[in-house]
Structure 1
Amino acid sequence: MDHLQAKVQAVRPGPEVMTRQRLPYFVGISGDTVNASGLSMHLVVIPPGARAEPHIHIGYETGIYVLEGTVCTRWGPSLEHETISRAGEFLFVPPGVPHEAINLSADMPARAVVARNHPAEQDLVQPFTPLIDD
């Protein structure tokens, strides 16, 4: 886009949408909403005690900033590793790393801003079945 024709745009998220990860999102910046070419940014809410379906992001990085709550992110081929993120902390997920997010509270939702270096919200999210050790 020509920088002389580009415009600054405010985005008010619409109603929540259910993602392939089985978590509610409020879509913000994306290729669909503002014609972004290399960024998407959304609000995710993990209900009390809920978890994402295990998944991977094909070819893009994800940055997360936790606004409220405490989230355990399990990651790896068998989801054998854990990282705990609390309100005020950032989390980085490299491309192709299997992971799932779990809200550790039984009575409070966790909320986070999710940013990706790709303009699509869900196009490159792929379900993942963890390896089982025998």
Structure 2
Amino acid sequence: MERPGARRIIAVKPERELLTPQRLPYFIGISGSTAGSRALSMHIVVIPPGARAEPHIHETHETAIYVLQGRVETRHGEGLSESIVSEAGDFLFIPPGVPHEAINLSATEPARAIVARNDAGEQDKVRPYPPRIRSGAS
């Protein structure tokens, strides 16, 4: 039996929202399970107004993000002590093993981004990251 995507082009329409370990709604596009990809996943993430991802680490894969809409603060590094703000039109690269969390800076509008990873199992190697307690931080 031929494996999906092995010798033909596959079209994927992400119509259903999936809640991920990061606790954000994803719309899975290309992955091993949807298209037979062997080393790539690509999907859309929506961060609701004022919401944030659970702090986490992608153990072995790189992540590339293209922000379509909104402004997102990504806290990263040991204890999530560093920060970078991305907005529509910006790209963001997250190396493997870097703790991070994404925060939608708008209280009224969702943020949307395209996320690509060099792993066909888009959520298989995500693990929670318990940051150190930051006094007075939200």
CA RMSD for the aligned pairs?
Answer: 1.7
Could you report, residue by residue, the CA deviation over 1:45-68 in whole angstroms, capped at 9, with x for unpaired residues?
A: 000000000000010000000000
The equivalent of 2:110 in structure 1 is: 109
Could you report, residue by residue, the CA deviation over 1:72-129 in whole angstroms, capped at 9, with x for unpaired residues?
A: 0000111000010000000000000000000000000000000000001211000000
- 1:13–1:69 Cα change, 3 Å: same
Q: How many residues align?
A: 132
The equivalent of 2:122 in structure 1 is: 121
**What's the TM-score, normalizing by structure 1?**
0.94
The equivalent of 1:19 in structure 2 is: 20
Q: Percent identity?
A: 61
Structure 2 spans left out of the alignment, 5+ residues: none
The equivalent of 2:40 in structure 1 is: 39
Segments of 4+ in structure 1 off by > 2 A? 131-134
Give the AA of the match of 1:44: V
Aligned-residue offset at 1:14? 2.7
- Separation in structure 2 between the aligned mates of residue 132 and residue 24 of structure 1, nearest angstrom: 26
Structure 1 spans left out of the alignment, 5+ residues: none
The equivalent of 1:62 in structure 2 is: 63
- Separation in structure 2 between the aligned mates of residue 86 and residue 133 of structure 1, nearest angstrom: 26
SS of the aligned residue for 2:33 comes to helix
**What's the TM-score, normalizing by structure 2?**
0.91
